[in-house]
Amino acid sequence: MNYTLIKVCGMRDAENIREVEALGVDMMGFIFWPKSSRYVSKCPNYLPQKAKRVGVFVDATIEDILQYINDYTLDIIQLHGHEAPDFIQRLRSLCGDSIATIKAFNIATTEDIDATKPYEGVVDYFLFDTKGKSVGGNGEKFDWSVLEAYRSDTHFLLSGGIGLDDAERVKGFCHPKCVGIDLNSKFEVSPALKDINKLKIFLEQL
């Protein structure tokens, strides 16, 4: 991987947000899905000033998403549910060009990659996560070789169980449309609280 955007998702604690941002990550994700153990129920006392703020939603209404964009001054919207392309187009028409969009897909086989086709040209990035019991945050990797079948133009982020021991594997992964990685559960002390030392070591290895 020649160029890597680092996204750390599942943030909630103000001091932890400061510490993670100080590591130089590019994006920080805030989960606004009430069923998640990393759900952000109230705005932290500190939000990232340099890293892009990503709001993660699962089948939320347009009205709710717009409210969170306003309350948290979000830069990016990540959609992790069953949001249809026309829903995203309506949302983008209301947000304007200043808000980027990520559509997440749970991947296990090459057939799962076909689900991305209706979203070509609709979103800025795809995020490929592991298909599991939960919508996300399963802490397990999928077989990245499946992505050899991905031939579309939309850039993507690689997600799903990436941990401290995966630095060499990440560096060795090569796909022309992969622009970054998403880190979450494997770097946690507890849900929504990241282990700064582990993250620091991992980023140094990258």
Tens digit of pLDDT for each residue in 145-180?
A: 999 999 999 999 999 999 999 999 999 999 999 999
Six-digit token pair at 44? 């932290």
d(CA 11, CA 97) in angstroms, rounded, equals 25
- Residue 135's pLDDT is 60
- Residue 138's pLDDT is 58
Asked whether 92 and 98 are in contact (CB, 8 A), the reply is no
- Residue 140's pLDDT is 81
The conformational region for residue 106 under phi > 0 = left, psi -120 to 50 = alpha, else beta, is beta
85-95 vs 62-72: helix axis angle to the nearest 10?
40
Low-confidence ranges of the chain (pLDDT < 50): none
Q: How far apart are the first and last CA of the chain?
A: 10
pLDDT in tens, 51-64: 999 999 999 999 99
CB neighbours of 86 closer than 8 A, spacing ≥ 6?
Answer: none
Report which of 99, 102, 110, 95 is spatially closest to residue 80, judged by C-alpha positions: 102
- Residue 97's pLDDT is 87
pTM of the entire predicted model: 0.95
